[in-house]
Structure 1
């Protein structure tokens, strides 16, 4: 994915994205593990809570006030406005964890310019953690007052790689179970850390690859700048640099081609 905006242009957008994350945390965290959490199902049978809806509304309200000309794509309330500059929002990634009281969930906020994610913020308030990046400005975690730069691992051999595959059912539904078996047999360690947290572990250099299927733009957009600015690479499962392929393959960059070859031996 190529850059189409300067770092100076993006600094203000990144500052806004961090403020959006704070507004989101103020909605979501008080509802985490709440006894009166309201849970329903959407048309696709996935869960949605009152916290998902309130969190996205809070983000949209700030954007309406501060970036009225920008477009928005959100998981819960759809698309509106321009696609040139589009904020891509997943108010609570990991809703299944959220409603069961498991702290591995977070808000994902990205700004895509002409379809390329240039700014990304991930906030996991139940863990007290936040990650952020913008093209040319690096990838960071911690707090804005005390940031720590992120860097992917330097592992360069598949036999030494630690990977996250998200879930067996997900790979089976995609018709890729044989690929998953081949992957597990080749790498050092395989685990299903799940959802956005796995991508943040990759950006921190804790693991070396993440792959998943049945993902929408809002499931992965915020991770792209964070992984990329940390030195990693993120494509579709087939190696295409796009948000719309319904799959994702993120690596430390060094091993990306090797993983593609392993997962597509007959291509």
Structure 2
């Protein structure tokens, strides 16, 4: 594992990258002057997604040339133990429709562990970042940053749940389990995408979950949630990002909330023992 000093340097470098990407993406979002196409998986992509990833790759190639890169739009390059993971615009559909809930996500993985993440949502005037052992923070810059801490809510009936959509739960055969969890919570809202997890890290939300995600959707979120004191697993309870989905809580609620989600599957008449 790299030293905290080196990790801090990587975080500072990632911040400089994100500054340049925000300067590219925000003006185009505000003017809405871009083309939109459909990828083979039927998801939307804009020329801004592609340009943002190319900007990040260009800066990484100059200063971190030995590191591998995995990006949503251009795939994987390199095989090094250190790998940067890019989602140039998380929330592309929001970006296209003029909804300000979208962000650039950048993470650093070392020897299979996500050790740093930064999430920038310039249309919301918000940014979040974390590195292993250094804590999690939010703010527009380092000088006015606020350290993040998850909530201390300890009962599901007192908890606020945020999710993205319900269709993926039906495809997994877990819609009934998701609805059971949502009904047990004090409040549920579909803040969606990265924002659910950033609100969790801030203590404004207590549970966040999504049934279908790619590595680049999750990587930057994990250190921010965990360094703020939360727990991030798959819906099967596997720590980290390996499960292709996400279930994150303030930690105190994790077993109870995950148990409710998994207590019944679609087609079952009774809860599982």
Which interval holds the TM-score relative to the shorter structure? over 0.9
Measured against aligned partners, the alpha-carbon deviations of 1:45-73 in whole angstroms (never above 9, x if no partner) come to 10000110000000000000000000000
Separation (CA, whole Å) in 1 of partners of 2:171 and 2:120:
29
Measured against aligned partners, the alpha-carbon deviations of 1:68-97 in whole angstroms (never above 9, x if no partner) come to 000000000000012410000000000000
Aligned to 1:168: 166
Q: TM-score, normalised by structure 1?
A: 0.96
Which segment drifts farther, 111-120 or 62-71? 111-120
Contact 1:202/1:252, CA 8 A, preserved across alignment: yes
Secondary structure in structure 1 of the residue aligned to 2:20: helix
The alpha carbon displacement at 1:116 in A equals 1.1
Aligned to 2:268: none
Pair 1:12-2:46 in alignment: no
Aligned to 1:215: 213
Aligned to 2:225: 227
Measured against aligned partners, the alpha-carbon deviations of 1:102-134 in whole angstroms (never above 9, x if no partner) come to 000000000011121100000000011100000
Separation (CA, whole Å) in 1 of partners of 2:109 and 2:134:
15
Separation (CA, whole Å) in 2 of partners of 1:34 and 1:172:
36
How do residues 242-257 of structure 1 correspond to structure 2 at under 5 angstroms?
A: 242-257=240-255
Pairing partner for 1:42 from 36, 39, 42 = 39
Aligned to 2:103: 106
Pairing partner for 1:89 from 86, 99, 107 = 86
Runs of 4+ in 1 over 3 A off after TM superposition: none
The alpha carbon displacement at 1:169 in A equals 1.5
The alpha carbon displacement at 1:156 in A equals 0.3
User: Structure 1 stretches of 5 or more lacking a match?
Assistant: none
Separation (CA, whole Å) in 2 of partners of 1:64 and 1:228:
29
The alpha carbon displacement at 1:221 in A equals 0.3
Contact 1:33/1:100, CA 8 A, preserved across alignment: no
The alpha carbon displacement at 1:9 in A equals 2.6
Separation (CA, whole Å) in 2 of partners of 1:257 and 1:167:
22
Pair 1:144-2:152 in alignment: no
How many residue pairs get aligned? The number is 264
Aligned to 1:65: 62
Aligned to 1:258: 256
Contact 1:88/1:221, CA 8 A, preserved across alignment: yes
Which segment drifts farther, 235-244 or 86-95? 235-244
Separation (CA, whole Å) in 1 of partners of 2:230 and 2:208:
11
The alpha carbon displacement at 1:246 in A equals 1.1
Contact 1:83/1:115, CA 8 A, preserved across alignment: no
Pairing partner for 1:117 from 106, 114, 127 = 114
Secondary structure in structure 2 of the residue aligned to 1:253: coil
Aligned to 1:183: 181
Contact 2:174/2:262, CA 8 A, preserved across alignment: no
Separation (CA, whole Å) in 2 of partners of 1:184 and 1:239:
18
C-alpha RMSD over aligned residues: 1.2
